[in-house]
Chains A and B, each alone.
Chain A
Amino acid sequence: MSQEMTGSEIVLRALVEQGVDTIFGYPGGAVLPIYDALHVQNSIRHILVRQEGGAVHAAEGYARSTGKVGVVLVTSGPGATNAVTGLTDALMDSVPVVCLTGQVPTHLIGNDAFQEADTTGITRPCTKHNYLVKDIADLARTVHEAFYVARSGRPGPVVIDLPKDILQGPGTYTPPSINGHRSYKPRKKGDIGQIEKAAAAMAQAERPLFYCGGGVVNAGPKASHLLTELVKLTGFPCTLTLMGLGALPASNKQFLGMVGMHGTYESNLAMYHCDLMINIGARFDDRVTGKLDEFAPHSTKIHVDIDPSSINKNVRADIPIVGDAAHVLEDLTKVWKARQHRADRKKMDAWWAQIDEWRSRDCLKYKQSDTLIKPQYALERLRELTGGRDDVFVTTEVGQHQMWAAQFLPFEKPNRWMTSGGLGTMGYGLPAAMGVQVAHPDALVIDVAGEASVLMNIQEMSTVAQYRLPVKIFILNNEYMGMVRQWQELLHGGRYSESYMDSLPDFVKLAESFGAVGLRAEKPSDVDGVIEEMIAVDKAVIADILVDKAENCFPMIPSGAAHHKMLLGPEDQADNPISEEGMVLV
């Protein structure tokens, strides 16, 4: 009945059936059969990266900006090990990725064969799940299952290790099973009794606060709509994590800005003083909680998460709700309306008056300069000059520039902001921007970069050139690993050990050598022109913005401190030496 085909053909057919249109990959001996099969079909586009690590970040960018599963194809041994950082990144940030790795033929596994690595062993702790296919009869089912696992529940990366003989052998294709998975069935609907309790607590609250995160983004655009509606309905303030930016429009008056170590003063003080915290899809990360025993000490905590292991991990929840953010938000809104709950007007006014007082500290203000480009200024100009466009996607590298981008760029929608939060992987932004641009060919895709980070995957400029991807790499070049320099200033007596970026390339020439446009801004008056040109040219651009080398990122909650011990600027830094306890934390 079913027609016989090779393992490689089975893999491609399964990918097509899973809706895959793009693969990011790099060939090698063990996967040549798949490359052969790719060569003779038109359904799937293959993007040839320049290092496998870039492929995984590109797939992450693709996935985060579309809500679909990103797909990677790499060879055995070094191909697979190069993918490990990206897989770990996707695991930490809950990004759905399926990574196909080549493997030596089954009869050679365990023999230290050429380019053999124990890929399932190496990737076991950095994937949501992984498979080694040893029988072609399992192949199609395994690929379908991998996609199901990658996108269901808390999304994550899945590896399928494919021995070469399986790829070459004859087998038959089977479509996805209609019966659900045997054992993995994450719960979507929240317990209605718990949701009732949550709604009742919300109606009673005097100082409520929504604290929402990447889970709302993961739950799809509908969840963001529902959140926006519920925030409006209740009149409560809302803060977002780094991963949650865009889940509530930045322009919403009830949005307090980002929470956490480099979040706003008003968000963090609201966290500290709230009496009810409504956590939806955020995981109480240590960048957010600061000192755990002083974290939101007066609050009752509602915690909505699709992954039960996120609940009661770091912080005890009073009203835990296991479920998908969209489903729970929908039910919560229904219950709130049906019970005719409403917040106490007087108490809410008092709470908002307090918040407005915190807001009036204007915690993101900085000292403007006539001669030096302040990184914040460059981002403000980027914000202004891209304002009004509905098609802007931002990725970042890791460091100060990332935090400034989070603080200064406005995200009105989910899936527009791609950053490495959990793992903090320098080198993420450029390949991620490629992935975003492949998925959204006409959009304005900007990688807000640091000069140190961008060098970690700079080879991908070659990919950018090959596929004519018009990504804009906006480097806030401070000639330092700025975030490291800042910690050394605050914690290590200003001993800037190995954090100066000596011998940097000329980024303008570098751009040109890859067929891209290189631009440079050296003084504040250059900034607008550079940004305008960067946007206007229909090509990849590296904009080298030479910024103040000594600028630090504020506000900042020093490690190990509580939220109300925020440093607002350089003037605070002197009076608040970091505790010894804080010194050992990262």
Chain B
Amino acid sequence: MTERHVIAVLVDNEPGVLARVIGLFSGRGYNIESLTVSEVDAEAGLSRINVVTLGTPMVIEQIKNQLDRLVPVHSVHDLTEEGPHVETELALLKVAGQGDKRVEALRIADIFGAKVDDTTLESFIFRLDGQSEKIGRFIELMKPLGLVEVARTGAVAISRGSEGV
């Protein structure tokens, strides 16, 4: 019965707001699979928090209601429930190696459509965006090929069509 939901929260860009959201999740024992936050409207002072969470339908409903009652929260959107949406994540991977492994890493990166952002004679930095699950697979493939380090942004998502949140 556990479902994965992508939730977008529009909040006032004020100190403490992220702590409130994170505190809510930890205090009430909800899962955070990923969370990103950034200002999206400097003039209106609004930030957008994108959070991916896991829970039963009842817990997901609680999460949304609990988020919505926070004073600096303007609106809560469950993109998973609201319909088709585009979801993506960005990852940077550092892969170090020489010889065949290095060639193989580059070949797989090419298949996945990853870009090479930097390279030395012994290493690459790949940049890949896409579904979190695809990034996960890419990481798995890079492990035996000399994966040194991963940085992931966590998912961001936006609904399809002409309507905004």
Indicate with 1 or 0, residue by residue over B57-81, a CB within 8 angstroms of chain A CB atoms.
0100110011011111110000000
Residues of B contacting A154 in the complex (Cβ-Cβ under 8 angstroms): 69
- On chain A, the residues within 8 Å of B11 by CB distance are 183
Looking at A203-211, A305-313, A365-373, A511-519, the stretch in contact with chain B turns out to be: A305-313
Contact A124 B20 (CB under 8 A): yes
Closest CB of chain B to A84's CB: distance in Å? 15
- From A125-133, A485-493, A549-557, give the one contacting chain B: A125-133
Q: Does A577 reach chain B (CB closer than 8 Å)?
A: no
Q: How far is the CB of B125 from chain A (nearest CB, A)?
A: 35
Q: How far is the CA of A561 from the CA of B16 in the complex (A)?
A: 41
Are B15 and A308 closer than 8 Å at their CB atoms? no
B39 within 8 A of A: no
Interface size counted on chain A using CB atoms at 8 A: 22
Proximity bits, A113-157, B CB within 8 Å = 1, else 0: 000000011001100111010000000000000000100011000
B71 touching A149 by the CB < 8 A rule?
yes
Docked complex: B1-40 residues within 8 A CB-CB of A: 11-12, 15-16, 19-20, 23, 27
| Given A124-B16, A124-B20, A183 and B65 contact (CB-CB distance below 8 Å) | no
Interface size class of B (residues with CB under 8 A): 20 to 34
Q: Is the interface of A mostly helix, strand, loop or mixed?
A: loop
Chain A contacts with B in 146-177, Cβ cutoff 8 A: 149, 153-154
* B68 and A308 within 8 A (CB): yes
Closest to A131 in B: B16
A181 and B69 CA atoms in complex are apart in Å by 13
Taking the closest CB of chain B, its distance from the CB of A157, in whole angstroms, is 13
How far is the CB of A408 from the nearest CB of chain B, in Å? 36
CA distance A120 to B65 in the complex (A): 23
Q: Is the CB of A183 within 8 A of B73?
A: yes
Q: Is A308 within 8 A of B69, CB to CB?
A: yes
Are the CB atoms of B65 and A309 closer together than 8 Å? yes
Known pairs A308-B69, A313-B62; A183 contacts B23 (CB<8 A): no
In the bound complex, do residue A307 and residue B62 qualify as a contact, i.e. CB atoms below 8 Å apart? no
Q: How far is the CB of A239 from chain B (nearest CB, A)?
A: 25
A184 CA / B74 CA spacing, docked (Å): 7
Complex contact A132–B15 (CB within 8 A): yes
**Chain B residues, Cβ within 8 Å of A309:** 62, 65-66, 68-69
**Known interface pairs A182-B74, A183-B71, A312-B61. Does A124 touch B19 (Cβ–Cβ under 8 Å)?**
yes
Return chain B residues, CB-CB under 8 Å to A39. Answer: none
Chain A, residue nearest B44 (CB):
A182
Could you list which residues of chain A lie within 8 angstroms of chain B, going by C-beta atoms? 120-121, 124-125, 128-130, 132, 149, 153-154, 181-184, 307-309, 311-313, 316
Known: A182-B12, A183-B73. 14 other contacts (CB 8 A): A120-B16, A124-B20, A132-B16, A149-B71, A182-B74, A183-B12, A183-B71, A183-B72, A183-B74, A307-B65, A309-B66, A309-B69, A312-B61, A313-B62
- Which 6 pairs between the two chains have the least Cβ-Cβ distance? A309-B65, A129-B71, A183-B74, A308-B65, A184-B71, A309-B66
Q: Can you offer 7 A-B residue contacts whose CB atoms are under 8 A?
A: A124-B23, A132-B15, A183-B11, A307-B65, A309-B62, A309-B68, A312-B58
